[in-house]
């Protein structure tokens, strides 16, 4: 049945609760899992919701166990949903390469065989899971979105395509211009084929350059010791476009930090606080 959830795990943490659910996705044609942190229900009966999108090779549990976000979220009264990064299962197309296939859905809608049968992560998040959290979990209040690396790409694209659904967006070391870097080109070629006009629909730089409407505040943190900074990430490209179109974007270069969850854990509380100011005023 639509929106039918199976509770897999439940753990009390910082006076809140960490859950993990499974459900069948009609969009992806497979079973999916997602994790959810809820602050204390007695103190925060209707908490705002932050979406967290993880990066390459991750699933819905990486952020819950490595980022250390629950303590700050419990204090702020913020719920966090952590979807998986791709469809999963033996019937879902996959390859041996770590940056394509299962664990590397790139938060887009694939058009090419064999990927199109399952890899519709954008529609899954934007329509199916968004509806599920409203109807089945009661999150009808304000939402914000954040992510890391491939998930930073996903968060930026989701926000730029759906500014009416979110109040703010943030990212750690995002892939901002996937059309022009190896990770993105590899994925876009496989999932979308050769049509670069179609690629541009999933590229934050292209979306921001053509953006019209109300802009959402953006915070990006990037470590200057990130080994992927120059070849794969290149956040300065998005900053340049934001300045041209007067889009409110803040890029913070963090000295000595790399691409790992140690970097995320160091600044995640600041990101939650950033989002809280816009969620409170929604």
**Catalytic residue chosen out of the listed positions 259, 266, 271, 275:** 259
Q: Decide: 73 and 16 in contact? Cβ < 8 Å.
A: yes
**Calpha distance 119→136 (Å, rounded):** 24
Asked about 226 being catalytic, the answer comes back as: yes
**Calpha distance 52→201 (Å, rounded):** 21
Task: Please count the other Cβ atoms lying within 10 Å of the Cβ belonging to residue 132.
Answer: 21
Q: Decide: 266 and 257 in contact? Cβ < 8 Å.
A: yes
**Calpha distance 281→141 (Å, rounded):** 11
Asked about 259 being catalytic, the answer comes back as: yes
**Catalytic residue chosen out of the listed positions 226, 266, 271, 275:** 226
**Calpha distance 82→48 (Å, rounded):** 14
**Catalytic residue chosen out of the listed positions 54, 149, 170, 266:** 149
**Calpha distance 265→72 (Å, rounded):** 11
DSSP conformation class of 191: H
| Tokens describing residue 83 | 């979807």
Asked about 46 being catalytic, the answer comes back as: no
Residues that are catalytic: 149, 226, 259
């Amino acid at each position: 049945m639509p929106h039918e959830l199976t509770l897999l795990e439940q753990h009390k943490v910082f006076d809140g609760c960490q859950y993990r659910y499974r459900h069948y996705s009609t969009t992806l044609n497979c079973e999916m899992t997602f994790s959810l942190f809820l602050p204390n229900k007695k103190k925060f009966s209707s908490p705002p919701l932050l979406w967290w999108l993880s990066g390459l090779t991750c699933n819905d549990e990486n952020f819950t166990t490595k980022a250390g976000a629950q303590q700050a979220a419990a204090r702020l009264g913020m719920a966090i949903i952590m979807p998986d990064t791709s469809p999963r299962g033996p019937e879902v197309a996959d390859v041996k390469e770590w940056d394509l296939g299962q664990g590397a859905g790139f938060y887009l809608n694939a058009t090419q065989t064999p990927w199109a049968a399952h890899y519709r992560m954008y529609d899954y998040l934007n329509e199916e899971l968004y509806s599920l959290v409203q109807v089945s979990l009661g999150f009808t209040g304000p939402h914000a979105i954040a992510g890391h690396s491939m998930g930073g790409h996903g968060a930026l694209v989701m926000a730029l395509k759906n500014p009416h659904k979110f109040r703010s967006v943030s990212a750690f070391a995002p892939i901002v211009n996937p059309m022009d870097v190896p990770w993105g080109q590899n994925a876009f070629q496989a999932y979308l084929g050769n049509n670069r006009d179609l690629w541009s629909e999933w590229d934050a730089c292209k979306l921001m350059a053509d953006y019209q409407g109300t802009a959402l505040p953006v915070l990006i943190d990037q470590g200057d010791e990130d080994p992927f900074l120059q070849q794969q990430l290149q956040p300065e490209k998005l900053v340049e476009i934001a300045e041209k179109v007067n889009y409110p974007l803040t890029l913070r270069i963090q000295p000595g930090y790399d691409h790992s969850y140690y970097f995320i854990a160091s600044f995640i509380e600041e990101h939650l606080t950033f989002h809280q100011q816009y969620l409170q005023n929604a």
